[in-house]
Amino acid sequence: MGKIKKKFSEGGSRTYTTRNRALRKLQVSLADFRRLCILKGVYPVEPRSQKKANRGSSKPTTFYYAKDIQLLLSEPLIAKFREHKIFLRKLQRALGKDDLTRAKGLESRRPEYTLDHLVIERYPTFVDALRDLDDALCMVFLFATMPAVNQVNNEVVDDCKRLSTEFMHYVIHSHSLRKVFLSIKGIYYQAEIQGQSITWIVPYQFSQNVPLDVDFKVMSTFLHFYRTLLGFANYRLFTMANLSYPPKVDQLMDDSAAGLGSLKIEAKRMEDLIKSAQPASGDDNSAARAPAAAMTKQMKQRLDTLGSKIKKIVAADASHINADQAPAYESVGESAADGDMDDEARQSGGLLFAKQVFFLSREVPRYSLEFVIRACGGRLGWDQTSGGGSPYAENDRAVTVQVSDRPVQGHQFLDRKYVQPQWVYDSINAHRLLDVDDYLIGQPLPPHLSPFVEYAEGDYVPEAATKMAAAAGFEGEVTNLKPEDRDKSEDSEEDGDDAADIDGASADEEEADSDAEEDEDEDDTAEKQRQKQLLAEQAGVPFSEYQQRQAQGKPKPKPKAANKKRSKAEVEEEERQKIAISMLSKKKRKVVNRTQDEATKKAKDINTLKARKSLAASKPVAKTSKSKRN
């Protein structure tokens, strides 16, 4: 006789555990359990069979992995949470007895905890931390723009501003910005750091109303961990770039709203490197001191020649900024503008604006343009009303591009170009300086396309994306980006299994075109009918008699043209596909049917967009014709 197994000792009831059982096992409150799960990265799971996981009960509940709850038992934060509860109980008792002396003493000994060990535990390598930096940046940039209210502490907002500014300075220093997109939600940025693409969103700097239906306790727990993570990441990035951390803040520049210029980004001092390379005084090993002594001697020699090198660099920068040798503006808008740069820098867009000097008018978003221009190697100045510390004035001859959003300018300089802010963002996404003729002041702007969208074969591609791909020197035929220009015969030869889907898509295209033509005919017919009604009204004909005349003289509707008869080969191919699908298993048949349904829906969506585009293009023409008739 075999051994009798204990009930609920294996299977789903052992793999999963409910939240109530986890609370009883950890002996913590629900609020502390939620905070602990957020900090440790433990999230609820959905078992395959909830009834088996809940030991036969079908009551809806939240499940966790039993191993994750077992791991939380050894977390030192649980003891810190209990110490904090005891502190609050003692503080409340002292305040209830009006014992202010004891209350002050307890407040000075308030228990605090850090999350440094959690960052190291969850991200063993720095690359892992960079991969998970998107959410941290979004949260930190969000709270950096929040007003200081009861739900949000002022110190937290200031810390978020500091961390976000430090990260932006590193992106500027490393020229790692790659994509920018202005959306309704905010401004999307994407930077490439150590081979990892990091995308985050920054809200627009408008006055924000703090919503009351948002649980700021949960968000503050996430923010506490993200602040710790971003602090570690900033320190590592600055250290790897040989920059001193934390950067110093110029208080005068900060008070004058200098923006990113208020932080002083400095390289590590050579004296600190020499001290770190010197051996300890108690070390008697001469073999270990020899390499350190040689390194110290080499650093001292480099330190002696550092002054002359700095003078040369300053002189070169001064001659470059000189008005007589200011960069000519002919480079803007020409494809060969960035020919002096190497191909890798030009393609990445890191030094896109290296030869340009910008001036920002007071009505443009300086907080965003300053970041993207400096991240792409450009220099800029701004209006005095936008903040102090501008290195360039409006009448400076070194300025080559002025970014403005006003159709009327008080005074225009002939040696510079006036463009709208979208030119800067579109140039960054295109990785080249675009033609300024489409972005001049007062001109209707081209569509601002998202650089995060990748078009696959058969997708609907906007006309502006096709033009930009052709202007950028797209390798291959640009018409391949247009699904309406594809050769049906080539598609059928390349992919015979999708012949029925392609025929259906082409039929849908013909129907969409015919619908657009019918809409135009209906508009003309309605206009003619209205004119006839006005003439009949002037002649004194009653409306009922007019309707009878129209009914008698109305021609019979023409039958719609029947679909084109398919060839024998197409019918045989369709039958062959149906037979092949019917011979598959039920699971595979569902996958094939789902794929075909998705392809049909995608084709319908593309045809709808094309019909809207053709209808929008035909509407202005119809309006002008109607106005001429009237």
Q: pLDDT tens, 478-527?
A: 333 333 343 443 444 444 444 444 444 444 444 444 554 555 555 566 66
- The pLDDT score that the predictor gives to residue 553 is 61
Taking CA atoms, 304 is separated from 121, 271, 414, 591, in Å, by: 44, 12, 47, 72
Look at residue 432 and tell me if it is in a domain: yes
Is 466 a member of any domain? no
Task: Judge whether 479 and 488 are in contact, CB under 8 Å.
Answer: no
Residue 559, pLDDT above cutoff 60: no
Helix (H) or strand (E) holding 598: helix 586-629
Where residue 94 falls (left for φ over 0; alpha for ψ -120 to 50; beta otherwise) is alpha
Same domain, 503 and 416: no
How many CB atoms are located within 10 Å of the residue 613 CB? Answer: 14
Residue 505 is part of which domain span?
487-532+570-630
Per-residue pLDDT at 627 exceeds 60: no
Q: Give domain status of residue 543, yes or no.
A: no
Burial class (CB in 10 A: 0-12, 13-18, 19+), 251: exposed
- 247 pLDDT above the threshold of 90: no
pLDDT tens across 32-49, in order? Answer: 999 999 999 999 999 888
Q: Is the pLDDT of residue 150 over 80?
A: no
CB-based burial label for 628 (10 Å; 0-12, 13-18, 19+): exposed
- The span from the CA of 566 to the CA of 572, in Å, is 10
Domain contains 331: yes
Tens digit of each residue's pLDDT (9 = 90 or more) over 154-166: 889 999 999 999 9
Same domain, 219 and 144: yes
Who wins on pLDDT, 239 or 411?
A: 239
Instruction: Give the Å distances, CA to CA, from 198 to 44, 133, 136, 170, 172.
Output: 26, 7, 11, 13, 14
Domain count of the fold of the chain: 6
451 domain-assigned: no
Residues 53-88 have pLDDT tens digits of 888 888 888 999 999 999 999 889 999 989 989 999
pLDDT at site 36: 93
User: 208-217 long-range CB contacts below 8 Å, 24 or more apart?
Assistant: 208/145, 208/146, 208/147, 210/146, 210/147, 210/149, 210/151, 210/152, 216/151, 216/152, 217/31
* Three-state DSSP state, 406: coil
Radius of gyration over alpha carbons of the chain, in Å?
A: 35
Contact 230, 140 (CB under 8 A): yes
Give dist(CA 362, CA 25) in Å, integer.
60
d(Cα 159, Cα 282) in Å, to the nearest integer? Answer: 41
- What was the pLDDT predicted at 292? 55
Per DSSP, the three-state class of 178 is strand
Same domain, 139 and 254: yes
Residue 411: the pLDDT is 79
- Residue 609: Cβ within 10 Å count: 13
Residues 418 and 502 in one domain: no
DSSP state of 583: T
Nearest Cα neighbor of 267 from 288, 241, 285 is 241
Regarding whether 353 and 250 lie in a shared domain, the answer is no
Half-sphere exposure of 436 (CA within 13 A, CB side): 21
Q: Domain ends where: 89, 108, 127?
A: 108
Asked if residue 352 is part of any domain, the answer here is: yes
Better-scored residue on pLDDT, 9 or 477: 9
Q: List the one residue out of 109, 88, 96, 103 whose CA is nearest residue 32.
A: 88
- Read off the pTM: 0.68
Q: Which residue has the tokens 């003692």?
A: 90
- Same domain assignment for residues 186 and 317: no
Dump pLDDT digits (tens) for 441-465. 888 888 888 888 877 776 777 777 7
Average pLDDT, the chain: 76
- Which pLDDT does position 126 carry in this prediction? 93
Pair 329, 300 in one domain: no
Indicate which CATH number applies to the domain containing 430.
Answer: 3.40.50.10190
* Cα–Cα dist 71/22, whole Å: 11
497 with 403, same domain?
A: no
Which 3-state string (H, E, C) describes 320-339? HHCHHHCCCHHHCCCCCHHH
Q: Two tokens at 69?
A: 């709850």
Burial of 382 (0-12, 13-18, 19+ CB in 10 A): buried
* Of 283 and 311, more confident: 311
pLDDT in tens, 585-601: 888 888 888 888 888 88
First to last CA, the chain: 101
Cα–Cα distance measured from residue 204 to residue 184, given in angstroms and rounded to the nearest whole number: 9
Question: What's the CA gap between 285 and 303, in Å, rounded?
Answer: 27
Residue 540 lies in a domain: no
Same domain, 317 and 355: no
Q: Are residues 132 and 248 in the same domain?
A: yes
Q: Is the domain of 298 the same as that of 431?
A: no
Instruction: Sheet containing 196-202: give its strands across.
Output: 177-182, 187-193, 196-202
Residue 304, pLDDT > 70, answer no
Whether residue 419 sits in one domain with residue 347: yes
Q: Where are the beta strands (DSSP E) in 453-496?
A: none
Q: Distance between CA 134 and CA 199 in Å, rounded?
A: 6
Query: What is the H or E stretch that residue 229 is in?
Result: helix 216-240
Q: Which of the 8 DSSP states describes residue 36?
A: H
Does some domain include residue 473?
no
Amino acid type, 115: L
